[in-house]
Amino acid sequence: MKLVRKDLEKDNAGQVTLIPEEPEDMWHTYNLLQVGDSLRASTIRKVQTESSTGSVGSSRIRTTLTLCVEAIDFDSQACQLRVKGTNIQENEYVKMGAYHTIELEPNRQFTLAKKQWDSVVLERIEQACDPAWSADVAAVVMQEGLAHVCLVTPSMTLTRAKVEVNIPRKRKGNCSQHDRALERFYEQVVQAIQRHINFEVVKCVLVASPGFVREQFCDYMFQQAVKTDNKLLLENRSKFLQVHSSSGHKYALKEALCDPAVTSRLSDTKAAGEVKALDDFYKMLQHEPDRAFYGLKHVEKANEAMAIDTLLISDELFRHQDVATRARYVKLVDSVRENMGTVRIFSSLHVSGEQLGQLTGVAAILRFPVAELSDQEDESSSEED
C-alpha cells in the first residue's frame, strides 16, 4: 500500500489518500472502511444520453465520485472490494443522493475521510504501507490424494490451489494403479507450487502432512527437478521445511505453524507470533486459569486491575457497525498499551484468528492472577442477600 497524502486535524478528523498495490491491500482497505465514512474514487457509471434526433442510448463513462459509505462487501478469495453508498458531491453524470457501487481496484488511488481516525485504524495504515509486512511464508498441507497450497501473509491465509486426485488402494501383488495415481497427484502439486509461489519473496515453504507423505513427495519433487534440470526448485531447495500435520486440510496449517522448528525459522513473521501467543494462552488456561481470561467483560475487569500482559484481539471486532461498541474495543487496546502491555491484533482470515473468534474474539494473558469475575459477582449477590 502506498500512502499519497495524510491530512488529519487535531481532533483526529480528516482524510487519507492511498493506492492499493497488492491484492492483500484490499483486505487492509476493508478494515479501514466503516459505514458513514466518505470515499472518493474513480469508477465507471452507465449514463443514458439523448441525441438531437431524440434517440436514447447508453454509454459507460469513467468518472470520480464521492460516496457516503452504506455497505461494504469483500470477497476474500478474489480480494475484491465493493463499496455501496450515496453520492454526496455534485457530479455532471450522477445526481446528489443517487446510489452507486464503487469497485476499488489495485493501483487506483482513493481518498477516505472520517470524522474520527482512531489508533487501531492509523496503526493498520502504518502496517499496510510497511514493505517488510508482505507475504514471506508458503505452505503445502497434504495427505494422500489431497493438497492445499497456501500463502501465509501477515494478515491472511490465502488458499492458492487445491489438488484432489482419487488414489486407488494397494492390491495384493499389484500396486501399479496406486503408484501411478500417486505420481500423478505429486506432479499436480509440483505444478501448483511453481505456479503460485513466488520464490523471490517467500523465505520458507512448509510441507506438512501425516505419516511419510511429505518425505515421499519431497523426494519425488527433487528427483524430477534433477531429471528436468528445474533450476527454480533446485536453487530454492533449502527453503523447503518438512513438518507434521494431522491431515491435508487447511485447518491443519495451525499445527504446522506451531512446530518449534517452524517457529524458530519464522521468528520474524507476524503469523508465527500470533500462533505462539494463542498457544501460550491455551497453556496458561490449562495450568493457571486465574491468569487467562477471555470475553470482553472479564478482560476489561483484568485491565482495570492493570493485570494484562498480552491482549489477543480479533480485527473482526473493529468492524462492528455500532460506533460505541467499536470505541469500547479501541479504548481497551489503548489502555493496555498505556499500561505497558503487548497487543496482538489477529486477522480473522488466519487459522489462529478463526480460533480466537471462537473464544469471543478477545482474550488476555495476565501478569498476575485476578479473582474470577463470576466469583466477585457471587460475593456481591450473597452480600445483598
H or E stretch at 51: none
Residue 315's closest CA among 9, 15, 31, 8?
Answer: 31
Residues of the chain with pLDDT under 50: 132, 374, 377-385
Strand-pair partners of 339: none
Separation between Cα atoms, residue 88 and residue 34, nearest integer Å: 16
Options 3.30.1330.30, 1.20.1740.10, 3.50.50.60, 3.30.70.20; which CATH number does 271-376 get? 3.30.1330.30
For cell 480473522, name the residue. Answer: 348
Separation between Cα atoms, residue 290 and residue 284, nearest integer Å: 9
Query: In the numeric block, which cell numbers belong to residue 318?
Result: 473493529
Separation between Cα atoms, residue 383 and residue 327, nearest integer Å: 33
Reduce the DSSP state of residue 147 to 3 states and report it: strand
What are the residue ranges spanned by the domains of the chain? Answer: 2-129, 137-268, 271-376
C-alpha gyration radius of the chain: 26
What does residue 71 show for φ and ψ, rounded to 5 degrees? -150, 145
Separation between Cα atoms, residue 345 and residue 133, nearest integer Å: 14
pLDDT for the residue 52: 73
- What letter does residue 134 receive in the DSSP assignment? S
Cβ–Cβ under 8 Å, residues 270 and 278: no
The dihedral built from the CA positions of residue 329, 330, 333 and 336, taken in this order, carries a sign that is negative
209's CB contacts (< 8 A; 6+ apart) are: 141, 142, 143, 217, 244, 245, 248
Q: Could you please report the per-residue DSSP string of 287-331?
A: H-GGGEEESHHHHHHHHHTT-EEEEEEEGGGGG-S-HHHHHHHHH
pLDDT for the residue 135: 56
Query: In the numeric block, which cell numbers belong to residue 334?
Result: 489503548
Options 1.20.120.350, 3.30.420.60, 3.50.50.60, 3.40.50.300; which CATH number does 137-268 get? 3.30.420.60
Separation between Cα atoms, residue 101 and residue 108, nearest integer Å: 16
Please give the angle made by the CA atoms of 241, 183 and 195, to the nearest 5 degrees: 55
Reduce the DSSP state of residue 156 to 3 states and report it: strand
Torsion of CA 370, 373, 377, 383, to 10 degrees: 0
Q: Which CATH number describes the domain made up of 2-129?
A: 2.30.30.870
pLDDT tens sequence across 28-77: 899 999 999 999 999 998 887 777 777 788 888 889 999 999 999 988 77
pLDDT for the residue 268: 53
Please give the angle made by the CA atoms of 303, 304 and 309, to the nearest 5 degrees: 30
pLDDT for the residue 363: 96
Separation between Cα atoms, residue 306 and residue 304, nearest integer Å: 5
221: left (phi over 0), alpha (psi -120 to 50) or beta: alpha
11's CB contacts (< 8 A; 6+ apart) are: 116
pLDDT for the residue 385: 45
Query: In the numeric block, which cell numbers belong to residue 241?
Result: 521445511
Reduce the DSSP state of residue 77 to 3 states and report it: coil
26's CB contacts (< 8 A; 6+ apart) are: 20, 74, 79, 80, 81, 104, 106
Query: In the numeric block, which cell numbers belong to residue 314?
Result: 480479533
